[in-house]
Amino acid sequence: MRSSVTLSIQWAVLLSFFVVLFCLLQPATSVKEHDFKKCDQSGFCKRNRAFADNAAAHTSTWSSPYHIIPESANFKNGQWQAIITKTIDNGERARFPVTISLLKSGVTRVSIDEEKRQRKDINLRHGSKARKERYNEAENWVIVGGMELDIKAQVVFQDKSKANIKYGGDEKLEAVIRFSPFEIEFKRDGESHITFNDRGLFNMEHWRPKVEKEQAEGEKGQVEENTKADNGEDESTWWDESFGGNTDSKPRGPESVGLDISFVGYEQVFGIPEHTGPISLRQTRGGDGNHNEPYRLYNTDVFEYVLDSPMTLYGAIPLMQAHRKDSSVGVFWLNAAETWIDIVKEKDGKNSPSLGKDTHSTRTHWFSEAGILDIFVFMGPTPRDITKKYGELTGYTAMPQQFSVGYHQCRWNYISDDDVKDVDRRMDKYKIPYDVIWLDIEYTDEKKYFTWDPHSFADPVSMGEQLDAHGRKLVVIIDPHIKKVDDYPVSSEMLSQDLAVHNKDDEIYEGWCWPGSSNWVDCFNPKANEWWKTLFKYDFFKGTRENTFLWNDMNEPSVFNGPETTMPKDNLHHGNWEHRDVHNLNGLTFHNASWEAMVSRKKGERRRPFILTRSFYAGSQRLGAMWTGDNQASWDHLAASIPMVLNQGISGFPFAGADVGGFFGNPDKDLMARWYQAGVFYPFMRAHAHIDSRRREPYMLGEPYTEILTKALRLRYSLLPSWYTAFFHANRDGSPVVRPMLWTHPSEETGFAIDDQLFLGTTGLLAKPIVEKDKFSTDIWIPDDEVYYDYASYKLMKTQKGKKVTVDAPIDSVPLIMRGGHIFPRRDIPRRSSAAMRFDDYTLVVTISKDGFAEGDLYADDGDTFEHEMGQYIHRKFHLTDNTLKSIDAEGRNVKSIKAGSWLKAMREVYVDRIIVVGAPATLNQKEVSIESEGRTWTVKVDYHAAEKDRAAFAVLGRVGARINEDWGIKLA
């Protein structure tokens, strides 16, 4: 018989679950900052900050306690290795092997481990089964290339105090390693750009046994634990830590790693998503306009998040870049444990003589709770170099499914299969283009994933068929928590095969999420991934079809009754790694398992998966898209979305968007209009809404708003060829899909902090969505002295480099201007979905530069399979010089020699239909021009419009009739 105590505990748990659930279902009123740790509530954060404060308070006497043993140093094949030591309490020395790898790409990797733990020469407390080593497997999940060593790197000088290594070939890079104390300085062209440990904050908390102490009497006579270690250090957070009623048993004691990294002569730093706030990161040690807390990276379901905050969010990419005029450098901190980053800026030119005394440097201080220290250093010199080399290491954005670049219609929840069909029909009735409709958790039978609610989704097949008939897709949500009930095969299989995450006592971990009591699939376990694949087979997940795709949510993981709404850190994953070690990778591993499952749904079916994830880490860009989680239907959240999306782009994960319309609350119609116009410029464009919000599909708004939203969507759809081309560039070299000024114009320092306007790929389209109520014009900052035209009217803008130009923005339009010198593709026939546009002809828009020049490209493939990896794609380069507009294969391939598969064959009948030349030269003022293509010549009609008032001259050429994948040339004069 169960005791009443057990029962009351169960009731308490149940009650707290309903309280949490109740809160989650409430519209947002306030943020829940107090549910998440501040630095001084996180032991290692507090300790590392105290370490820094102590160093700062004793600058004249402070010296880092870490020293390299000169005799231990050796260099071979591009790798320099040595032992760093630190004298610890009993006079013993803790030893930390360091490896500095000079990579062929010019990137340097610095890894530091702890010898005692490498040797497993430690004891764990509480009988824990956790691994004894420091976690060193993050690279297995994150790094996919770029690791070739630079065997030409040379130690050009070494004595007992330092070693100088030259590397990077023509890039003239040098690493100066100082031995006592241990420091590294990274130089380019003889000048210092990045330093490690020059403030002496390097800190590896070595393993130590817990010495049990007598309890002491506190000030007020109560018995207290003595929290002073023998050497006087405060050990109150070494052995266990409690927060919000949860206690972390910390079987390995303190084990954090920290380092100060200075960007010498750089006043601004960027990156380290996911946070809200400006892309140019704020200082974090207080003061006017600064944060008081370090930026935190600890993937968490921050259910009502704060704006302009260093607080953690759902995902983490520990890549930071520093930019100054004509120079960019960066670091990637490869550590999956909870991480905090302090940023301060100081006027200090001491290390940068050429920049002068007034130079500001940004001094950062990074610390992670566990794991090895593992850092990649990028020496630029351009932002493009950083995104490219970072992508070489962590992988580039996957080529997306074509449909996923279209518009996604989502809400929590479409309530039945009939509801879905109805929305689909109405979108058609109102001629609103969309590609995908989404199902949130309510489609399942009592939150059991891989099932359908038998009443409301009784016929998923006919729902899928209707969507298919309209060229549309269905996305269903699958979360990592698996409902713990007896009659659910997914649960029983997972448990019987031992594929779930374990708790600290090595039993199956149980927590609460949407389904109530749940267990979590452990995707660090290869066997779990193999099993996960079986669940997506069409004959297992019945009702799914080839047009069903995926949404992975709650994968931080979100655990309603867990510490900070996630898993206890002392939980155990496959290989007995503690959750603490791998936390920030958790979302990526789940996303990865789903990716593998989706590519193997059916034998012989090789289609690109589309999977949206909420939680992510460096490398997640290879697997799909992300969104910024549970925002609010408010103007400030709309405004916040743009820097967030831009930051994702420069941080290697550009397939990003925010919930259009805002998740919580009910947006008014103007906000909806502006949000759709902004959403058109998110790489991932999905409308989503909370279960309590009113229905707000575009046709629900009524006129003129339905028309306004439709117009915005049409803009997106006509530009899909350009969007897809921008994704192609992201896929090839890591270029952001939407680009902030600092990335496109790295010589214009005033543009670096501008994060409310963006360029779309290489199109030269410069957009600045309106994000304020009752605002009907805006000022766009102009980064160069090129000419700019208004997108809709072809008005020649009165621009001046470095100045702002005012653009009108009535409620039905988004401020969008075109930079001269570009050629971008569109498809102009309005259709219901991107599938319906697949073989439509193209329009090319040519915006003539001030020098009479223009260029651009088009990439297209079947948008669905992996055939493009076998050369089944079209990549054209268009350029206009000397009054001749030409199209050639962008990669110099002999297109005729490529054996065409079905898509490429069908594309033979796809043409360039119209060419719109904006800023057209007067020589084009003629009735027709002649076009030559592959030995044939014909004429094309010209409709010329001379310049009028402030509108530029333009000409419309058509019907052009040139095959898209053939070479052609038109003389425009």
Which of 91, 112, 138, 461 minimizes the C-alpha distance to 259? Answer: 112
Q: Is 502 in the site for ligand NOJ (CB under 6 A)?
A: no
Please classify residue 520 by burial: count the beta carbons closer than 10 Å to its beta carbon, then call 0-12 exposed, 13-18 middle and 19+ buried.
buried
Kindly state the tokens that stand for 455.
């009443």
Cβ distance to ligand NOJ smaller for residue 413 or 718: 413
> Catalytic residue at 556?
yes
Task: Quote the least distance from Cβ 303 to ligand NOJ, whole Å.
Answer: 8
Instruction: Please list every residue from 292 through 351 that binds ligand NOJ, using CB under 6 A.
Output: none
Cβ distance to ligand NOJ smaller for residue 166 or 614: 614
Task: Quote the least distance from Cβ 630 to ligand NOJ, whole Å.
Answer: 5
Q: Which amino acid is at 106?
A: G
Tell me which of 62, 412, 540, 866 binds ligand NOJ, using CB under 6 A: 412
Where do the DSSP E strands lie in 244-326?
246-248, 257-263, 268-271, 295-297, 319-324
Task: Quote the least distance from Cβ 551 to ligand NOJ, whole Å.
Answer: 8
Cβ distance to ligand NOJ smaller for residue 230 or 446: 446
> Catalytic residue at 468?
no
Instruction: Compose the 448-487 pattern: x for residues touching ligand NOJ by CB under 6 A, - for all others.
Output: -----------------------------x----------
| C-alpha to C-alpha distance for 113 and 365, rounded to whole angstroms | 19
| C-alpha to C-alpha distance for 64 and 51, rounded to whole angstroms | 10
Task: Quote the least distance from Cβ 659 to ligand NOJ, whole Å.
Answer: 7
Which of 968, 696, 955, 709 minimizes the C-alpha distance to 845? Answer: 955
Cβ distance to ligand NOJ smaller for residue 301 or 756: 301
How many C-alpha atoms does 156 have within 13 Å on its Cβ side? 11
Q: How far is CA 797 from the centre of its chain?
A: 34
What ranges in 437-572 are assigned the alpha helix state H? Answer: 460-469, 489-496, 526-535
Give Cβ neighbours of residue 139 (< 8 Å, ≥ 6 apart).
334, 374
Choose the catalytic residue: 630, 697, 855, 862.
Answer: 630
Choose the catalytic residue: 553, 578, 855, 966.
Answer: 553
Tell me which of 441, 640, 771, 970 binds ligand NOJ, using CB under 6 A: 441
Cβ distance to ligand NOJ smaller for residue 580 or 688: 688
Task: Quote the least distance from Cβ 410 to ligand NOJ, whole Å.
Answer: 8
How far is the CA of 424 from the CAs of 94, 436, 491, in angstroms? 65, 9, 34
> Catalytic residue at 553?
yes
Which of 886, 894, 860, 882 minimizes the C-alpha distance to 960? Answer: 886
Cβ distance to ligand NOJ smaller for residue 62 or 412: 412
Helix axes of 705-718 and 669-679: crossing angle, nearest 10 degrees: 0
Cβ distance to ligand NOJ smaller for residue 24 or 83: 24
Instruction: Please list every residue from 619 through 678 that binds ligand NOJ, using CB under 6 A.
Output: 629-630, 663
Instruction: Please list every residue from 686 through 725 that binds ligand NOJ, using CB under 6 A.
Output: 688
Q: Is 274 in the site for ligand NOJ (CB under 6 A)?
A: no
Q: Is 408 in the site for ligand NOJ (CB under 6 A)?
A: no
Q: What is the 3-state secondary structure (H, E, C) of 30-92?
A: CCCHHHCCCHHHCHHHHHHHHHHHHHHHCCCCCCCCEEECHHHCEEECCEEEEEEEEECCCCC
SS3 516: strand
Cβ distance to ligand NOJ smaller for residue 612 or 671: 612
Instruction: Compose the 725-744 pattern: x for residues touching ligand NOJ by CB under 6 A, - for all others.
Output: --------------------
Task: Quote the least distance from Cβ 674 to ligand NOJ, whole Å.
Answer: 21
Tell me which of 133, 260, 553, 756 binds ligand NOJ, using CB under 6 A: 553
The CA dihedral of 423, 429, 433, 436, to the nearest 10 degrees, is 20
Where do the DSSP E strands lie in 133-190?
154-158, 162-167, 173-178, 183-188
How many residues form the binding site for ligand NOJ (CB under 6 A)?
10
Cβ distance to ligand NOJ smaller for residue 31 or 122: 31
Tell me which of 185, 392, 440, 857 binds ligand NOJ, using CB under 6 A: 440
Tell me which of 614, 826, 832, 914 binds ligand NOJ, using CB under 6 A: 614
Instruction: Please list every residue from 951 through 970 that binds ligand NOJ, using CB under 6 A.
Output: none
Q: Is 435 in the site for ligand NOJ (CB under 6 A)?
A: no
Task: Quote the least distance from Cβ 688 to ligand NOJ, whole Å.
Answer: 6
Give Cβ neighbours of residue 218 (< 8 Å, ≥ 6 apart).
224
Question: Residue 619 phi/psi, 5° resolution?
Answer: 105, -20
Q: Which amino acid is at 375?
A: I
Task: Quote the least distance from Cβ 553 to ligand NOJ, whole Å.
Answer: 5
Choose the catalytic residue: 304, 435, 556, 748.
Answer: 556
Question: Which residues contact ligand NOJ by CB under 6 A?
Answer: 412, 440-441, 477, 553, 614, 629-630, 663, 688
Q: Which residues are tagged catalytic?
A: 553, 556, 630
